[in-house]
Amino acid sequence: MGDTIKIKQPSHLKTFKVIQLLDKRIGAKLVKCYIEDLTPEEEYEKERVFRKNRKLYSISSSARGRPSKKQRRDLEEFLGQANETDS
């Protein structure tokens, strides 16, 4: 008890103090009764900025991997029209 735990996240560092040890597992809602969050507000602000930027630059799931059959046909049709106008 009384130990301080630091958890490194990609964007920030969280700090917790152990208030009481447990003998068995408990639900997530009860965890806050056994630890104290010592993380400064600046670290949580770093996390908010990181999450906001990550959402801005993330690629949609439809743009990943191989194109679907419809996407491939649309691409071939587009490229075919582009090649015809170049000739």
Spatial CA neighbour of 43 closest among 12, 7, 15: 12
Residue 28 lies in a domain: yes
Residue 41 DSSP label:
H
* pLDDT value at 60 more than 90: no
Single-letter residue type at 78: F
Across the range 14-28, mean pLDDT stands at: 94
Count the Cβ atoms, other than its own, within 10 Å of residue 20.
Answer: 9
* Domain membership of residue 14 as a residue range: 4-41+53-86
- 7 versus 59: the higher-pLDDT residue is 7
Residue 55 pLDDT grade (very low, low, confident, very high; cuts 50, 70, 90): confident
Alpha carbons 62 and 15: distance in angstroms, whole number:
37
Report pLDDT digits (tens) over 22-44: 999 999 999 999 999 999 999 99
Q: Report the predicted TM-score, pTM, of the whole model to 2 decimal places.
A: 0.57
Residue 48 lies in a domain: no
Q: Tally the domains of the chain.
A: 1
Q: Give 6's contacts (C-beta < 8 A, 6+ positions apart).
A: 13, 14, 15, 16
